[in-house]
Structure 1
């Protein structure tokens, strides 16, 4: 176990060495606490001044940056705590003797002043013990709950101390009373500072743990060595700044160079848990291709994050910068999760659907869509939380205030959610020719409230999305191969049975050999090429939906004697052209009609035209005489 631990630490040090917070001009943590306390004092004074109250947010931001810096440097062993604990304990012992002596002498002023000083020293001792315990208890395998547990103990003690009230003796002179009040204010201000820092650590334990692996890495030593080499080559260069830039670029190149290696290692780890993909090289390759982009992007952003830390060195990066980087990391993690789910989750569900008595195809398809939706919702909530929003309050406000808003703008919300449904369903896109009720034309743009359609009479139609979502939509553009050609060939009743059969056979043969008529063999090969080109379908989708119908492939071909009409014997011709473009389809249809005419003429048959014969059963005698 110790060997594994050491190996993990070495690997993380090689990848994250630059994130160590080694400061050549080390600042005592206690000095940071004093600076935070001074800012609290300024803020309290400015809040009472109407003129300077507008400057309070500026000092509050400075205080938050200092607290953030304190949390980042907390576990760095090179940062001194700044509290001389031995001297602190000696002063406490001395003050306890003073308290005994002043109590015997009824010296109320000395007793109260010594009590406040003793309480202040005890608070410093508790902070010192907390910091020492953090540094000795936490390691690489520590979790956020460990930080919370350690900080909660001292947090309860200090909150208990801050809740106590003190009454100053009123029978003292004004000078002594002022000194006691000032001492009490300083003590309360110190407790307030310590509590703010501890509450921040409770809320952001990850910032304390983020760099705990690299405590003993001397960043200053590394930069000094790089700066020495640069100064030796370029004497006029700025050594430290040049070293920072060089180290940032070097790490950027290293991380991007090893992105494929990182992807391969990630795949090895996944294969340990996902057994069914171990022998399926095609699934593995597609998964590797899908996760290469998010991992490469992560390494790029991570190297950029490291570069910023180096350039800001020895100071930490701004708090807002880290917040926005956290948003990017959450989005990248969601991207990686979706890619993995599409690969492994969809492949697993497809294998279940292909088994006998397995899931229905519709159910599997619905599971995939619902899973993608929930992944996106989780990502959005995580991003909002990273940005500082109260997720519980947002959900509660949506439940209470959302009802009134929904009633007021129900039509607007109906159109909005209809647009979401249309986007998720992917019923049509920009440039598609659609028919929905009385609306027919080309989709120009689909907005959140309405969809713009250009009619074939060149009129611009604005259709509410709720109307499109509530009606059936015919999308003529969702056809890859196959536009229907249907006609009835009427031949005269004088045609013989043998010639009719020859005509049907000749027309069917002509269509089967026609270069522009869709055939099953051509469509099968075309469908496979289309499947290989679809990056989103990274598993065998034919177990879930009919791919020919989904992508729009039609190759049916029928030529039969259909019925005996009033004035003709009708032959049904039903086939599909390869092209779906209207102009090309008209040309193919014209050619087919001319070929049919040629066949009919060669067989000596004739096209029938509408006619009607009238038979008289009896004729009046006067009419017969006139004949």
Structure 2
């Protein structure tokens, strides 16, 4: 199972995107909450006259901007409003399920009806007791609730029907909403609102709050209606059928006399010959195109690749073979979607079918991106040595690739969830709340992941290194997210948690550039002459200094270490950091029980085991030859028995007496 990727940065906004109704609330708060400071800057007579004449405030009162506001500032505010209105329209057209959501923060039908009943009851009771301020408070609240209800119904109707309505029907719908807006009589509450602002009691504060909310909804909806009425072309339905002008072809087919007669019978199943023939044609074209993609185009590209006879031919063919199946699925999916849209014409494709095809496309594109990352990036750039940074560690590449592929899966799932109407913002917030519980439940997993980061950034070991711990020794096969696989020298595979390796002392035998130790004691017999032993020691030292496989200071590239030191700019020993050992020692070391020991301590230039064994063997043979040339014998553990003749004679006297001869 492949993991995942997605480098389409344009989709990253989905994680923080607001829903439709949250966007409405944001627009109202950003542009319409301070309306009273501008609206009431007009003369009080304007609203009063409008009210007296039976007109709404919206007909006569036009908002003014504060004096001194620069023209370019006014223009930027207008441009920002238009941008936000366009965002609303885009969400309404592309994600209508967000609009038709009763559980929204703007207007909830169930709870709002309960509130409406409560307000009407309170108004009736307060009128009986002549609580005029309380009556005004609840009347404004009821009017504000009606405004939200109408705006809610307006957007739901528009989201459900805009693909079916003509420009004339849309304009008629907008005009009806505009007439309702003009019927709102807010002016009669203006004086009470101003008086309430001067008071500090709870009822007055509530009157101010309800009135300002009503004015906010009023002016937002007024300007939005004005915008859409002046731009009805924004609601032109651009389906695939209309995009490819298939609707015109359908009408021409249905205009044929023979097909027109057949359509009289087909109307009972809500279809016609034009749509059926176009559907069949699209299916044939889709299957034909997929066949060309899957077989013919693949065979053609295969011949071109094989003709080049390049070392990457096999890799390219494998990649091409992996990608052609998802491309086949994409072509078939597009064909079916277009064909079904033709069958449902002029109505739009049902939402469930649209989501189904959308899910197939998202999954297929994500899979193709994963294949591209896995095959082209990893195999070609890494295995073929095309990376500019030759020292880039394999486990770091694996980590980056895994993160990229997991990111693709997460983003693909997020895109699908948004298409299904899931509020990603709420989901992310809930994940943040449950993050503590997840962290507590996955302590070991998290510690192993951070152990991986410690291993990588400390550069403790890499894939292919020979490491040794208290319990494990072997070659590192792979450093994963949770654990590291180690192949022991008896060919067993061990899995060790990353946290264990990150927090335990370990030996890394592969972190050696020059120098693998050769240490031994050569023993010669005690009967050797002192002069011969010293000459042999000098000869062995000369042999090691001149041996091509033994590391000495003269044979090391100091320029390489100096350049590394300048590049890294750290006050550390480059010999110790990169593992460069050139020590060479040959000394008379010890008078042991059975031999005179000569210490030989040096390092081979190569750190590879087999090459080290070759060098060590050659050194041993040359030492043997040198000892023979100076008549020195190898000593070995032995015991000597010394006999004292006098002691033996006395010891055997009792047994040496002359025997008595019998008479």
Q: What TM-score bracket applies, with the shorter chain setting the length? A: 0.3 to 0.5
TM-score (norm 2): 0.40
Which one has the largest radius of gyration? 2
Structure with more contact order per residue of length (Cα contacts < 8 Å, sep ≥ 6): 2
